[in-house]
Chains A and B, each alone.
Chain A
Amino acid sequence: MAVLEFEGLSKIFGSGRLEVRALQDISLSVEAGDLVALMGPSGSGKTTLLLCVSLILEPTRGTIVFDGVPIYQNGWTGGVDIRRLRREKMGFIFQAHNLIPFLTARQNVLFPLDLVGVRGPEAQARVTELLDAMEISERADCLPALLSGGEQQRVAIARALANRPKLILADEPTASLDTERGKRVMGMLKKIAQENQTAVITVTHDARMVEGFGYVYHLKDGRMDQNH
């Protein structure tokens, strides 16, 4: 079963002479364990698509089905707690890492677990497991400001994985890293997809970073060309 399906997805900002067609008739199906890269120049609609897929931005038309549940059919279907769905089934990785600055690395990873009610030894064990996997355990009690860019991104990945999501959405996860560290982060995403059967959709503008990705889609002026 597809983790995420969207069909005929369009997003139009403004109207009349000011109308901007940010996404035009985009369709995609992402299975568990799929590695999907969205590429394109600035203004091509990558971030808009990511916002729609994250269920933050309402498309103008089309359908979105997440984990078999219709979420959007030319309008929000209702009856679905979108924020709950995001915290339980999605993980996010950002360009600027976006760790919560007043929480240590460990607490940042603990936060999404706390949101779903996983606390105590169970939560601590999961955090330790993730930080070990990301090879950042020795920096677990540091605040984000004391971590390097690569370390912050690894903590961000650990946080995204905390609740064993079905889908990870990554927005330019390597943009603030050098090539070597960037490739290492992408390697981790591939490993996650393979080992956990988690679908990964990443937005990037760097072709070197998507080696080994199963699906690479190019966006231009809101339209998508498939190349895999």
Chain B
Amino acid sequence: MDLAVYDLKLQKGRFIATIIGVGLLFTIVLAMNGLYRGNIHDGLAVINATKPDLWVVERFRGGPFNEQSSMPEYYHYSLKAVPGVERASPYIIYAVERMIGNESRHFSIVGYDVFGGLGGPQKIYAGRGLHQAHYEMVAHAKLGVRLGDKVPLGLHTYKVVGLTKEAVDNNGDPVVYLSLPDAQEILYQKDNEEVRAQRERLSRTLNAQKSLSSAAAANLAETLAPDTHIINAILVRLQPGADRTAVANHIRQWLYFSVYTTPDEIQLMLKGKLSGMTKQLLLFRTLLMIISVVIIALVIYTFTMEKIRSIAVMKLIGAPNLVIVRLVLEQSLLLTLSSFLFALVSINLTYPYFPKTLLLVPEDEVVTFIVVLLGGLLASVLGLWQAIKAEPAMALGGK
């Protein structure tokens, strides 16, 4: 005779309300799991989508993702000359906020050498890659643009020629691929008034130099205009069979750069930019799990205490402890499992609507299920203890 089920049938409404409440808590736990994975996924998405053999950045910098790195574009020619290097491509990435359609959107721009260079989009699910030196873009679907759309960025308008789903920046915002010169132009483009003011400042400084004639100062002003050929990193592909460590050491020692492999770059992100958020989410997950177990414990305790007289009657008429334990434990497990099932369904139905990426991994769900199951068993201890120590004499109104 399944006493737990009979009891829950009588308290259907309350049981369902409890399942929804606890289930929503579990939903948040699963969302936190997804957010945790999503945070790592987004943080590493561009690195994983690019995957060169080596990332070369400014000396003593952990760039280009975990830390800012800037270097002149022409350095990639030096790298091409390093023994074992097959290709070295300039690479730039930065975040912007611009109007896309009628909406202000936050996204990142990646600029790369579109003519065979590294760092471009790997998987294009609609359209094509960049084939021209200017005015074309490949965008992540999350940007909300369609193939053929013309998107104004800075002084020019860029046509969407391809759509990708693979790369988002470490905030989870979409990545837009442009040719390197276009990306540099958008990054360094200044307001006309600022350009004039900068020129005047430079002229004044040069004219103040007594050693320079005014003609020489004017000539110098032209050549001293700020350099916009700046990049964040150089991506290197090695020749087949080349020794990665030897090439990296050569670049470090002779060209004075910092060099990272893709796994190094991933570790830089995991231990750097992503670690704070990752720890925070882990803490939230743990706290929520504890709260869920405490709530289940209280619910089961209340359910048990309400039945304590019936339990005393059962004991008096000779029910073994096993029957009582089964009643409490089964209710606890039914509550826990139903709530988890509710959470599983609700998170799988809602995860695409979360503003941040939620990456649901079956392994996480299994681990959460095991923790929830153990938590549910643990939660019933308090109720079980009360049930076991209930005196049969209570049924006779004695003791």
Real binding pair: yes
Checking A56, A90, A96, A100 against B397 with a beta-carbon cut-off of 8 angstroms, the contacting residue is: A96
B391: A residues at CB distance < 8 A: 56
In chain B between 306 and 321, which residues have their CB closer than 8 angstroms to a CB of chain A?
Answer: 307, 309-310, 313-320
Q: Is the CB of A51 within 8 A of B397?
A: no
Q: Mark B300-343, 1 if CB is under 8 A from A, else 0.
A: 00000001011001111111100100000000000000000000
Selecting from A33-41, A103-111, A129-137, the interface stretch reads A103-111
Contact pattern, A 88-125, Cβ under 8 Å of B = 1, otherwise 0: 10111011101011110001001110110000000000
Instruction: Flag whether A12 is at the interface (Cβ < 8 A).
Output: no
A57, B398: Cβ atoms under 8 Å?
Answer: yes
Query: Is residue B393 within 8 Å, beta carbon to beta carbon, of the partner chain?
Result: yes
Contact partner of A47 (CB less than 8 A), chosen from B7, B10, B310, B397, is B397
Most central of A92, A100, A114, A115 by chain B CB within 10 Å:
A100
Task: Report the interface size class on chain A.
Answer: 20 to 34
Total A-B contacts with CB atoms under 8 angstroms apart: 88
Docked complex Cα distance between A96 and B309 (Å): 11
Interface SS of B by simple majority: helix
**Which chain A residues lie closer than 8 Å to B7 at the CB level?**
102
Q: Are A107 and B319 in contact (CB under 8 A)?
A: no
Among B6, B310, B316, the residue within 8 A (CB) of A86 is B316
User: Whole-angstrom distance from the CB of A58 to the nearest CB of chain B?
Assistant: 11
- A54 interface hit (Cβ, 8 Å): yes
Task: State A94–B392 Cα separation when bound (angstroms).
Answer: 12
Known A56-B393, A102-B3, A107-B6; contact A47-B319, beta-carbon cutoff 8 A: no
User: Among the interface residues A90, A92, A143, which one has the most CB atoms of the partner chain B within 10 A?
Assistant: A92
Q: State which residues 69-98 of A face B: CB under 8 Å.
A: 83-88, 90-92, 94-96, 98
B242 CB within 8 Å of chain A: no
Residue numbers in A under 8 Å from B396 (CB-CB): 47, 50-51, 54, 56, 92, 94, 171
Q: Which of B202-252 contact A (CB under 8 A)?
A: none
Type the 1/0 row for A158-195, where 1 means its CB is closer than 8 Å to any CB of B: 01000000000001000000000000000000000000
Determine the distance from Cα of A43 to Cα of B399 in the docked complex, in whole angstroms: 12
Instruction: Judge whether B318 and A103 touch: CB under 8 Å.
Output: no
- Within the complex, the shortest CB–CB distance from B267 to chain A, in Å, comes to 58
Query: Are A112 and B317 interface neighbours, CB within 8 A?
Result: yes
B319 touching A171, Cβ below 8 Å: no
For residue B344, CB closer than 8 A to chain A, the reply is no
A103 to B393, CA, bound (A): 21
Interchain CB contact (< 8 A) of A115 among B6, B318, B392, B398: B318
Contact partner of A114 (CB less than 8 A), chosen from B1, B10, B398, is: B1
B317→A102 contact, CB < 8 A = no
| Residues on B with beta carbons closer than 8 Å to the beta carbon of A48 | 398
Beyond A56-B393, A112-B318, list 4 extra A-B contacts (CB 8 Å): A57-B398, A94-B397, A100-B314, A102-B6
